[in-house]
Structure 1
Amino acid sequence: MKIEAVIFDIGNVLIEWQPERFYDRVIGPERRTAFFDAIDLHGMNDRVDRGENFPAVVAEVAAANPDWSEEVQMWHDRWIDMAAPAIDASVNTLRALRRAGVPVFALSNFGIETFEIGRDNYPFLEEFDRRYISGHMGVIKPDPQIYRMVEEDCGLSPENLLFTDDRADNIEAARARGWKVHLFEGSDGWADRLMSEGLIAREALV
């Protein structure tokens, strides 16, 4: 079946998302390990990605963990330092698809407020034909509902969608719905997949 749209995850596909690396740099690896062991920070982030208010969630968790309140608050105050840098080769691939006339969508676990911060810092986040942001949808990957919502909104059959994500569980959930998928392990491999599908030519990436 012909691919009629390419769908990008954002974190670790178009923008590096490495909170542990940020905290290693700021508070040191040993203290960071203790911090992440003490608090379910990724669970906190999932709440934001489901649409809860970003500053309110972080403030609540900081207040509940006074021994770590300063470090928790950094998740809000220095969020953009964790979501950095852009993965330039992937951005180039996105733009090559658009130049080739291929519709390009985003499907990402992202909070309402954090996505606005991202847009302010990464203008290419405005370049998608359609954006499916979990905070606005009220559901996160890999819940099958989020993929169903994408299908219903874009009107395309699952087999006509090609989706890349860096997490295997998100990929498998999409595959179960009949989407074509690519586990993102680097920009070169993703570009090779797109070329093998006849969506872009190598010279388009130069």
Structure 2
Amino acid sequence: MNTNTTTRFDYAAKFAGFAGKTLFEQLPSRQQEFLQRLAFEQRFTFQEFRQVVEACRDLSMWGEGDLETWWQKRSAQNGMRNGHLKKQMLTELQAELAALRQAPKTYPLIPLTRPKQREKSLITVKDSDKTIFGMCPVASEKTVCCNLHTIDAVENCVFGCSYCSIQTFYSDEIVFDEHFAQKLAALELEPGRFYHIGTGQSSDSLAWGNRHGILPVPVCC
């Protein structure tokens, strides 16, 4: 009895150690309960557990039902004991996923609706104390960076692309900096150095042409 208790405790600690290293916590609570119960029954290794977690998520996202129903149906058909059952079920699961990936794609007969067209925004010119030149916001010591610098020529965008995050950063106004040209001329760039500079961080700058003088290029001698 003591041996069994120790075994259960050891696997509980092991499960707690590797579950967070998978997509387990991103699954709905019902799927988490099933997978945790299944893991303890089958004594999944980390790699085996990772496989079933990802399979569970894939089946759900693909609209192919849930892993719990699939597992119960297939295990009843196999009629094997736990040790052999686990190996057989994991093999069949990978084969099922491979078949789904290779199957012809199907699309709904009724097309998706277009995103709501963006309403016209108020275009304004404001006096701002913000700096216009800096490093890409993603740049840090922990990232592999291309050393991109950005110039924020305009805040907000005239387009309403559904995939773009720019429109979530700002209010409904599109703002031009009243002193943009002066700030651009005052930039101190290192002579002889090549800079990688983008101007699309806060807007689609090319859409504006030279409105409010945003096109002058900084010159370093």
User: Which bracket does the TM-score occupy, shorter chain normalised?
Assistant: under 0.3
Greater relative contact order structure (CA < 8 Å, 6+ sep): 1
Task: Give the structure with the larger helix fraction.
Answer: 1
Q: TM (normalized to structure 2)?
A: 0.22
